[in-house]
Amino acid sequence: MQPGPGGDPVLKQMVDLHNRQHASVLAVQEVPREETSAYGIVSSTPRAERTSRITGMVENRSRKRPRPRWPWWAATCCRR
């Protein structure tokens, strides 16, 4: 997500969208096809302006890049 018309940061936009939709929110970006092996990939269908419904997801299992070190709360609160 790019900063919105009001200039809100991406994380604030994601929290606001979650509060309106009561659903999980995932930020994604397009990457060149030759770089897709380094990322998880999603497929989606448009839902509204600047939002889409995720219809498929492939997790990247490659160990080429170091795994992010999530804050402890992300590991305990956000994983299912």
Spatial CA neighbour of 14 closest among 31, 28, 30: 28
Q: What is the pLDDT of residue 19?
A: 93
Contacts of 38 (CB under 8 A, 6+ apart): 31, 60, 62, 64, 65
Position 80 confidence tier, pLDDT thresholds 50, 70, 90: very low
pTM: 0.59
Q: What is the pLDDT of residues 66-75, one digit of tens each?
A: 555 655 444 4
Spatial CA neighbour of 74 closest among 31, 11, 21, 4: 11
**Which of residues 27 and 76 earns the better pLDDT score?**
27
